[in-house]
Structure 1
Amino acid sequence: MKTKLVYVLVSSKEDLYWEQCLISVMSARYQMPQAQIYLVCDDQTNDSLCGKREEIKQFITKLIVIPFDKDVKKIRRSRILKVTLRKIINGDFLYIDCDTLITHSLDEIDDCLFSLAAVLDGHCIFKRHPMFDFFVKQNKHLDYPIDKIVKYFNGGVMYVKDNIEAHEFYESWHNNYLISCSKGSFIDEPSLSKTNIEHGYLIHEIDGSWNCQIRFGALYLSVNKILHFCSKKNMPVSYLSQKAYLKKIKEYGINTENLMDYIRDWKSTIPQGLVTCVGEDASFAVSPLYESSRKHFINNKIKRSLYIPHHNFKDYIISIRNNMLGRIAPKYLSQLLYKELFGIDIRQAIEYDFNKMLYILSFYSNNKEWSTYADKLAVRDYIAAKGLKHILPVVYKIWDNSRDIDFESLPNKFVLKCNHDNGSTIIVIDRYSISDYYVKKYYSKKLSKQFGISTAEPHYMNIPRKVFAEEHLENDKPFSDSLVSYKFFSFYGMAEYCQIIYDSTYHNNQKSIIYRISDWKKQVGFISKNEGNIDIPCPNKLAEMKNIVKLLSENFPFCRVDLYEINDRIYFSELTFMPGAGRIKSFSQHFLNTLGKELKSTEYKWKLS
Structure 2
Amino acid sequence: MNPDIVYLHTSLDPSRVNALWISVYSAKRACLGSRIRCIVSKDEVAELKSMTPPILQGVVEWVPVQTPDGSSAYQSRWIKTQLVKWLDGTSLYMDSDTLVVRSLNWDELSSFSFATVLNRLSNQDLEEIPCRIDDIDLFDAAGWEWDPKLDGFYRNSGVMYIRPDQKVHEIFSAWHQKWLEFVGLTGRYLDQPALNVSLLEHGWDEQMGDEWNAPVRVLPASARGALIYHYYSSVGMSAVGSFTLFGKLVQMMQEGGFNAAEADNLLARGKVYVGMGGRIKAYWLAGQYVFMFRAILTKLICTALGKTPDHTT
TM exceeds 0.5? yes
Distance 1:18 1:413 in 2: 33
Query: What is the match of residue 138 of structure 1?
Result: 138
Shift in Å, 1:55: 4.2
User: C-alpha offsets along residues 244-283 of structure 1, whole Å, 9 cap, x if unaligned?
Assistant: 863542341754894343333322753412577xxxxxxx
Compared CA separation, residues 67 and 212, structure 1 to 2 (3 A): same
Distance 1:133 1:74 in 2: 22
Shift in Å, 1:142: 2.7
Distance 1:107 1:295 in 2: 31
Query: What is the match of residue 157 of structure 1?
Result: 159
Mark the structure with the bigger radius of gyration.
1
Distance 1:35 1:188 in 2: 27
Query: What is the match of residue 49 of structure 1?
Result: 48
Would the aligned equivalents of 1:142 and 1:191 in 2 still touch at CA under 8 Å? no
Return the TM-score normalized by structure 2.
Answer: 0.80
Return the TM-score normalized by structure 1.
Answer: 0.44
User: C-alpha offsets along residues 329-382 of structure 1, whole Å, 9 cap, x if unaligned?
Assistant: xxxxxxxxxxxxxxxxxxxxxxxxxxxxxxxxxxxxxxxxxxxxxxxxxxxxxx
Would the aligned equivalents of 2:116 and 2:156 in 1 still touch at CA under 8 Å? yes
Distance 2:19 2:171 in 1: 28
**Aligned-partner residue type, residue 191 of structure 1:** A
**Aligned-partner residue type, residue 93 of structure 1:** S
Query: What is the match of residue 506 of structure 1?
Result: none
> 3-state DSSP class of the match of 2:278?
coil
Distance 1:30 1:117 in 2: 23
Would the aligned equivalents of 1:134 and 1:412 in 2 still touch at CA under 8 Å? no
Would the aligned equivalents of 2:213 and 2:226 in 1 still touch at CA under 8 Å? yes
Would the aligned equivalents of 2:245 and 2:271 in 1 still touch at CA under 8 Å? no
Query: What is the match of residue 71 of structure 2?
Result: 73
**Aligned-partner residue type, residue 244 of structure 2:** Y
Q: Map of 1:201-350 to 2, 5 A cutoff?
A: 202-230=204-232, 236=241, 239-242=244-247, 246-252=250-256, 254-255=258-259, 258-267=262-271, 269-271=273-275, 272-274=277-279, 296-298=286-288
Distance 1:134 1:240 in 2: 27
Would the aligned equivalents of 2:231 and 2:240 in 1 still touch at CA under 8 Å? no
Compared CA separation, residues 275 and 109, structure 1 to 2 (3 A): farther
> 3-state DSSP class of the match of 2:156?
strand
Q: Size of the alignment, in residue pairs? A: 301
Would the aligned equivalents of 2:8 and 2:80 in 1 still touch at CA under 8 Å? yes
User: C-alpha offsets along residues 453-499 of structure 1, whole Å, 9 cap, x if unaligned?
Assistant: xxxxxxxxxxxxxxxx995788xxxxxxxxxxxxxxxxxxxxxxxxx
Query: What is the match of residue 83 of structure 1?
Result: 81
Distance 1:414 1:176 in 2: 28
Query: What is the match of residue 39 of structure 1?
Result: 38
Query: What is the match of residue 194 of structure 1?
Result: 197
Distance 2:106 2:115 in 1: 13
Shift in Å, 1:48: 1.6
Would the aligned equivalents of 2:23 and 2:98 in 1 still touch at CA under 8 Å? yes
Task: Indicate which of 184, 188, 192 corresponds to 1:185.
Answer: 188
> 3-state DSSP class of the match of 1:194?
helix
Would the aligned equivalents of 1:413 and 1:472 in 2 still touch at CA under 8 Å? no
Would the aligned equivalents of 2:22 and 2:249 in 1 still touch at CA under 8 Å? no
**Aligned-partner residue type, residue 271 of structure 2:** K
Shift in Å, 1:166: 0.8
**Aligned-partner residue type, residue 93 of structure 2:** Y
Structure 1: stretches of 5+ with no match in the other structure: 277-289, 303-406, 418-468, 475-566, 568-609
Shift in Å, 1:127: 5.4
Query: What is the match of residue 61 of structure 2?
Result: 62
Distance 2:144 2:182 in 1: 12
Would the aligned equivalents of 2:218 and 2:285 in 1 still touch at CA under 8 Å? no
Shift in Å, 1:98: 0.4
**Aligned-partner residue type, residue 66 of structure 1:** V
- Considering Cα pairs closer than 8 Å and 6+ residues apart, tell me whether 1 or 2 has the greater RCO: 2
**Aligned-partner residue type, residue 29 of structure 1:** K
Distance 2:233 2:117 in 1: 13
Would the aligned equivalents of 1:214 and 1:231 in 2 still touch at CA under 8 Å? no
> 3-state DSSP class of the match of 2:134?
helix
